[in-house]
Amino acid sequence: MGKQKVVITGAPGTGKTSLVKGLEEKGFHCYHEIIRDMTSKAKMEGNGVDFVSNPLMFVEDAHQFNKDLLQGRAQHYKQAQKTDVAISFFDRGMPDVLAYMDFFGQSYGNDFVKTCKAHRYDQVFIVPPWKEIYISDNERLESFEEAENIHHALLNTYIQFGYDPVEVPKASISQRISFILETLNHL
């Protein structure tokens, strides 16, 4: 089967980062989300406006921010191709960038689409919104209702790129990890 590249995606506050960290603790090779660091940096360099759910409201060049984000994820993908491991997990994939841009009504060129098409993942797992675990923080700026809408944008974008995202059940981290690993074993 070769090297598998597996995305864990989902709206903010769904537990995907905890899930990726749990996979890493089990010895799996994982690429962590880069947007939180980018958002923190942009906020520190921002103009002091009130921060709303769209982190691009406080960056100087929203298009460049998204381009940098897409390229950062493409770099993770390329690194995964060079690793000597059977499975690499990604906390979000390249199509997430387009899903968020669509959600926030931002335009993007064909170069964004081409990047997503040129870097195909082997499997996509989507973690659904879960109100009981949702927490907002300094980098997670969306309301729960926005998170639900982002979930649908993510799902639609991955489907448009020809993926069939598998929904991860609402359960403990260990149960979610077991579900993902069992699903991968049956593919």
Query: How confident is the model at residue 130, as a pLDDT?
Result: 84
Domain with residue 57: its CATH number is 3.40.50.300
Query: How confident is the model at residue 51, as a pLDDT?
Result: 42
Query: What is the distance between the alpha carbons of residues 94 and 76, in angstroms, rounded to a whole number?
Result: 10
pLDDT tens for residues 80-119? 999 999 999 999 999 999 999 999 899 999 999 999 999 9
Query: How confident is the model at residue 52, as a pLDDT?
Result: 42
Query: How confident is the model at residue 183, as a pLDDT?
Result: 96
Instruction: Please give the mean pLDDT across all residues of the chain.
Output: 86
Domain count, the chain: 1
CA distances from 25 to 16, 110, 173, 174, 184 (A): 14, 38, 12, 11, 18
Task: Report which of residues 60 and 185 the model is more confident about.
Answer: 185
Averaged pLDDT for residues 115-126: 97
Query: What is the distance between the alpha carbons of residues 168 and 179, in angstroms, rounded to a whole number?
Result: 7
Q: Is 25 exposed, middle or buried (0-12, 13-18, 19+ CB in 10 A)?
A: exposed
Task: Report which of residues 99 and 1 the model is more confident about.
Answer: 99
pLDDT tens for residues 131-178? 887 676 655 567 778 889 999 999 999 999 999 999 999 999 999 999
pLDDT tens for residues 26-55? 999 999 988 765 555 555 555 444 444 445
Range of the domain at 9: 4-185
Specify the amino acid at residue 30.
Answer: C
pTM: 0.86
87, 30 contact by CB (below 8 A)? no
Task: Report which of residues 43 and 127 the model is more confident about.
Answer: 127
